[in-house]
Structure 1
Amino acid sequence: MGTIQLATTEFNEYYKGYIDLAIHLPLLQGLADGMLETHSFFEGLPRDKHDFRYAEGKWTPKEILLHLIDTERVFAYRALQFARAENVEIRGFDQDEFAANSNANLRTMEELLDEYIAVRTANIVLFTSFTEETMQRMGIASNSPLSVRAAGYIICGHEKHHIAVINERYL
């Protein structure tokens, strides 16, 4: 699958920034490259930054990494659901509630990175299994249309966004 242009009807406008960060690469390449870049980035964070918050109520880098993992699982499930049963509707999820209950700061960065690699590897296999036709299937997530392929690009751009935030506000 080559580089594509997504129609604005394939996703909620909220996700445009994430998609714009990722759309320049074919999806499978973006997922594979993102895995290497994200792993390397978090592995290279100084230990004294793992539990750092730049302001009250903000997430630590470990919480951000687990947020990326959780969000990837959610969007991969949405992609799978839409790939297998077109035109289904899936409710949203509360990322702040997920983070508050994640216990990310009780885990090591190494444990979180192992989980990240496992999830991303599984999702590369999942997206590889989809045909071009399947990638264009649609469903409703959080009361908005979403295509299978847009879900994949959101995963890719979402992690790029959070790495930029960490670089800007944590380092």
Structure 2
Amino acid sequence: MRTTDLSTTDYNSYYQPYIEALGDVELMDGLKTGMDQFVNQIKNIPEEKLTYAYGVGKWTILEVLVHLIDTERVFQYRALRFYRNDKTPLPGFDQDEYVPASKANKRTRESIIKEFKAVRQSTIALFETFEEEGLKRTGMASSAKMSVGAAGLIISGHQKHHQAIIENRYL
């Protein structure tokens, strides 16, 4: 599945910027190349910038990184549920509660990279088991319809969105 295969009815319009951030990309390519690009970006961030926030009430880079991991786990779970035909509506999650509870600023870059790679490899392994027709299955999350394929592409687009923010506002 490619981003261009998605319909705007496959996801909540809130996620449109993440899909647009990807351009025309194939789902698995986005997940795989995104992992390498992101790890390289993290490795090149100066140590003193990791706990920097560009404004009052904004997250630090370490908090952004753990936010990406948390969000990927949530969307991976959504994709699994929808692919397996679970019609139970899933609630949203409050990222603003997750971030302080993560204690990201007490972690090392290396531990976050290790966790990110493990989560992304798990996402890739899961999506590799999905057949093309199943990527079109939908479920409800945060009171909106979402397809399995959209969940995977949103994972990649969300990462790319935050990579750009890190580059433009933090570094």
Task: Quote how far apart the aligned CAs of 1:97 are.
Answer: 0.2
Task: Quote how far apart the aligned CAs of 1:85 are.
Answer: 2.1
Q: 1:170 to 1:153 in 2, by over 3 A?
A: same
Paired residue for 2:15? 15
Task: Quote how far apart the aligned CAs of 1:3 are.
Answer: 6.0
Matched, 1:160 2:160: yes
Structure 1 residues 76-104: Cα deviation after superposition (integer angstroms, max 9, x where no partner) = 00000001124331000000100010011
Task: Quote how far apart the aligned CAs of 1:166 are.
Answer: 1.1
Q: Which amino acid aligns with 1:87?
A: K
Q: TM-score, normalised by structure 1?
A: 0.96
- Give the unaligned 5+ runs of structure 1: none
Structure 1 residues 114-143: Cα deviation after superposition (integer angstroms, max 9, x where no partner) = 000000001001001000111110000000
What is the correspondence of 1:1-171 to structure 2 with a 5 Å cutoff? 1=1, 4-171=4-171
SS in structure 1 at match of 2:130: coil
Report the identity percentage: 48
Counterpart Cα distance in 1 of 2:138 and 2:2: 20
CA contact (8 A) 1:87 1:140 kept: yes
CA contact (8 A) 1:82 1:137 kept: yes
Counterpart Cα distance in 2 of 1:55 and 1:135: 39
- Give the unaligned 5+ runs of structure 2: none
Which range moved further: 70-79 or 87-96? 87-96
Q: Which amino acid aligns with 1:91?
A: P
